[in-house]
Structure 1
Amino acid sequence: MYISPFILVFFLSFTSLHVSNYFYIKEQTMKKNLLIIGIVVLVGIVAVIAYVLRPPAEATAPIEAIPLATPTAVVAEEPETEPVTEPEAEPTAAETTTESYPAPEQQAQNASYPAPEDTGAEPTGVMIFSIVSAESQARFTLNEELRGSPTTVVGTTDQVAGEFSIDFSNPANSQLGIIQVNARTLATNNDFRNRAIENEILQTGSFEFITFTPTALTGLPATVAVGDTITFQITGDLTIRDVTQSVTFEATVTIVAADRIEGLASVTVLRSAYDLQIPSVPSVANVTDEVLVELQFVAVPK
């Protein structure tokens, strides 16, 4: 069958144009899809960053100590007795004689007593002390790489509270109450990091406080006096968010005076044990799993 060259050229030209249009449309569609995907990814990244770096929840109130639970003394009731009425005695001559005496207030003014001396006696018995937030600090320390540079991160807060008792007559009977730290007030030297810690890692909007509930004090000395520095161990339950783990703090305490106690307690915990995940941020890498937790405190009598 004879095909005209004109028809053949027309057919080939039409086919070539159709194929070219097909690939052009396909290329444009692919570019459009890639652009849409890129926009969606960008919006997602911005949304995640905005969520992580949103303003964190503020502390509900200045922190206050949970009162130390101490045994309540039972007071024995005295039996009731009937009042006894004594017969009135006849006044004697001496009793009926009227004499003039100075009023009790005047007697007190006229009396001369020596001023009490400061004997410097050691405290005895049980005394309850309360942590002074303004002079105390709870902190954590860990290491990371920030923009490729090794960095030590330290987070601190003075919003720490708790009570404890010291039995100066028998130190083994001393007690430590629940220690609280307001996680919403922890701060490092980087505001973006602070927001990530509070919003994403510690989730302080739902879990405002980190608590330590002691279960045992070991290594206490047989005697303690003003000026002594003692070291001992404090075992208890440390709760971060909704995870509780048993830990043991190493404590060093100095009896500075009968009315002032200073000390430092520290323990190393693992982030993984509390499921504390670090948000994926391009500038941060190699955050250590080990975290040093410390409480440096001053306490005074309650």
Structure 2
Amino acid sequence: MNITKMITAGVFAIVLLLGAVGYTVLRTPAEASAPISAIPLASSSASASSTGTAAQATTATTTDVDVILAQIVQAESEARFVIDEVLNNAPKTVVGTTDEVAGELAVNPQDPSQTRVGTIQVNARTLTTDSDFRNRAIKNQILSTDQYEFITFTPIEIVGLPAAGAGGATYSFQIVGDLTIRDVTKQVTFDVTATPTAETRLEGTAQTTIRYADYGITIPQVRQVASVSDNVRLEIDFVATPQ
């Protein structure tokens, strides 16, 4: 093979490689398969019951007197991830958001220790940031949302809720559970703050910090990005009402 043919073959190989990489990153990701909806508590593979300093774990059902069955209101709720990076030699905080978050819970306002929380789902295909290029990279390369549409949190235990409720009080507690991203599941703890702002309305926030490498996630190197934090914060602002 002469030098001209070698150069031609090399250029052809590079073009093929760049085309494959470009297709992987830039192709249009799959859209949400359907509007997200809450998995009913009775159908959840598991749900968390509360344990607190003044109460033992309970097995309250949604048929108990005074128990309110509520679902996350998507129009008033938001799930997001927050991660820090250095972009073009300047620190930047990247935030990805979606209102496609769903879950069901059962609350007894007179006895918060009876609270139960079902599976929480977030549709990863609907996460968006301030960059379309980043959105495609997140969905096509990082989270592989064509294959893994949902991020799922399955609660195991609620810690820190009291046995007696107080009208208008704000409750700070933790929910321990299994977080599944792509095909990897790890146990995490969400710190939660919730306030009953009306008789049948609950507002709150939940957050936890994870190492994305623990879920087998790698972030592709980009020339403009000097570094990316090892940790990512996951947050949910939620409103829950009876449906």
| Shorter-chain TM-score tier | 0.7 to 0.9
Higher relative contact order (CA 8 A, sep 6+): 2
Is the 8 Å Cα contact of residues 140 and 291 (structure 1) preserved in structure 2?
yes
Equivalent-residue separation in structure 2 for 1:207 and 1:225 (angstroms): 41
> Per the alignment, in what secondary structure is the counterpart of residue 3 of structure 2?
helix
Q: Which residue of 2 aligns with 1:189?
A: 130
Question: Structure 1 segments of 4 or more deviating over 6 A?
Answer: none
Is the 8 Å Cα contact of residues 139 and 155 (structure 1) preserved in structure 2?
yes
Equivalent-residue separation in structure 1 for 2:30 and 2:233 (angstroms): 25
More strand by share: 2
The normalised TM-score by structure 1 is 0.71
Q: Which residue of 1 aligns with 2:186?
A: 245
Where do 5+ consecutive residues of structure 1 fail to align?
1-25, 74-123
Matched, 1:60 2:33: yes
Equivalent-residue separation in structure 2 for 1:160 and 1:68 (angstroms): 16
Where do 5+ consecutive residues of structure 2 fail to align?
43-59
Q: Which residue of 2 aligns with 1:47?
A: 20
More helix by share: 1
Is the 8 Å Cα contact of residues 121 and 153 (structure 2) preserved in structure 1?
yes
Query: What is the CA distance between 1:144 and its match in structure 2?
Result: 1.5
CA deviation vs aligned residue, 1:222-280 (integer Å, no higher than 9, x gap): 32233110100000000000000000000000110112110000000001000111123
Is the 8 Å Cα contact of residues 271 and 291 (structure 1) preserved in structure 2?
yes
Query: What is the CA distance between 1:54 and its match in structure 2?
Result: 0.5
Is the 8 Å Cα contact of residues 105 and 116 (structure 2) preserved in structure 1?
yes
Aligned identity (percent) is 51
The normalised TM-score by structure 2 is 0.87
Q: Which residue of 1 aligns with 2:118?
A: 177
Q: How does 1:182-261 map to 2 (within 5 A)?
A: 182-261=123-202
Q: Which residue of 1 aligns with 2:96?
A: 155
Aligned length: 225
Larger Rg belongs to: 1
Is the 8 Å Cα contact of residues 225 and 255 (structure 1) preserved in structure 2?
no
Match of 1:288 among 224, 229, 232: 229
Match of 2:220 among 267, 279, 286: 279
Is the 8 Å Cα contact of residues 62 and 106 (structure 2) preserved in structure 1?
no
